[in-house]
Structure 1
Amino acid sequence: MDHYVDLRVRPDPELIASHVMDVLFGRLHLTLAARRTGDIGASFPGVASGRTGLGDVLRLHGSAGALEALMETRWLAGLLDHVQAGDVAAVPPGASYRVVRRVQAKSSAERIRRRQMRRHGYDAAQARERVPDSVERTLALPYVRLRSASTGQIFRLFVDHGPLQAAPQPGSFSAYGLSPHATVPWF
């Protein structure tokens, strides 16, 4: 994690930056899933506390070779009118570190009802009676909207930027570029 590249959403009066970020992050996910290397992390330096969006910058972290190999692929094709890709650069000295991880809410009423139906043999009416809509809670974290390749449904991928740390923690990253333990440089 000694290098990074910034991908900045270009201002456009006809497009909402968060929609472009959703598409950009979805493309990154597909590309990282195909690579299957776990050597590239992601962060969002423009994230602001109390906002639902992740800002207008997606920062990728990794070795110079891994980032250059990623940027040589055509994963940004069609997005370069809306996204400015920076050069691969060395992380500045004195950077802090933080874990950037996915957080999943386990509180969808429909999901809980389906589980009750599977596990306990309830029908839909019984499950609805046992699990009211009021059990749902949403997370107060920023997110991107992605479309599931398997179901076609749109879902929110919530992202938590952990506390700053003085030392890096090694590890691998998911196909989202996120990790529950590994850190990325923060500057």
Structure 2
Amino acid sequence: MDHYLEIRLLPDPEFPATTLMNALFSKFHRGLASHGKGTIGVSFPDVKDGHRGLGSRLRLHGSAADLRDFMGADWLTGMRDHLAIDGPAPVPAGARHRVVRRVQAHSNPERERRRLIARKGISPDEARAAIPDSRAEQLDLPFILLNSRSTGQQFRLFVEHLPVEDEARKGCFGSYGLSPATTVPWF
């Protein structure tokens, strides 16, 4: 992972940066799902602790060839007027590393109860006792709003940037460009 590519949202009087980032990341995810090989990671260089927004820059990480191949696919259709793209360029010498991962909230106890009833064949009262409403988890992390292509429902994809590390950890990235253990360069 020796190169990166930066996609910056241009200011737009009609759309806030969060709306454009949601649309950009949705297209990025679909592009990775179609053309990705688990070799492209993502980070949000403008992220700040305690803020829910991810900023106005999306940084893609990978080899120069993987980034060029990915950008050669037509995944940015309809977004190019809203973006400035720089790179691919070599990662700066001395860059540190960071895991950028998805965190899933357990925010819907009713759905978890239905699954428990279907899996274990227990009664609704037993499921309610096993999974009380107080179990709903609220995360204080930045997120992207995405629409599920399978259900059509909107959901929050929570993104966590773990502490900066000195050593890189190799591995694969999922179809969101995120990984629970693989690092991306951080600079």
Unmatched tracts of structure 2, length 5 or more: none
Deviation at 1:130, TM superposition (A): 6.3
Hey, what's the Cα distance between the residues in 1 that align with 2:136 and 2:116? 15
Kindly provide the amino acid, as one letter, of the partner of residue 70 in structure 2.
L
Count of aligned pairs between the two proteins? 187
Task: Name the CA distance, whole Å, in 2 between partners of 1:36 and 1:69.
Answer: 10
User: What is the deviation of 1:128?
Assistant: 5.6
Shift of 1:27: 0.7
Aligned counterpart, 1:54: 54
Q: Distance in 1 between matches of 2:25 and 2:90?
A: 22
Offset at residue 80 of structure 1 (A): 1.1
Tell me which residue corresponds to 2:174: 174
More deviation in 80-89 or 167-176?
Answer: 80-89
Separation (CA, whole Å) in 1 of partners of 2:77 and 2:91? 26
**Runs of 5+ in structure 1 lacking a partner?**
none
- With normalisation by structure 1, the TM-score equals 0.92
Alignment of 1:93-172 (within 5 A): 93-121=93-121, 127=127, 131-172=131-172
Alignment-mate amino acid for residue 149 of structure 1 = R
**Post-superposition offset of 1:180:** 1.0
Return the offset for 1:122. 5.0
Partner residue in 1 for 2:91: 91
Contact kept, 8 Å, 2:36 with 2:70, in 1: the verdict is no
1:12-56 residue CA offsets vs partner (Å, 9 max, x unmatched): 122111111111111111111112410000000001111112111
Give SS of 1:87's match.
strand
Residue-by-residue CA offset, 1:85-106 (whole Å, 9 max, x unaligned): 1121111111000111111113
Letter in 1 for 2:150: S
1:114-169 CA distances to partner (integer Å, 9 max, x unpaired)? 12321343566775676443321211111111111111111111111111111111
Residue of structure 2 in register with 1:16 after alignment? 16
Please provide the CA RMSD for this pair.
Answer: 1.7
Structure 1 match to 2:6: 6
Partner of 2:72: 72
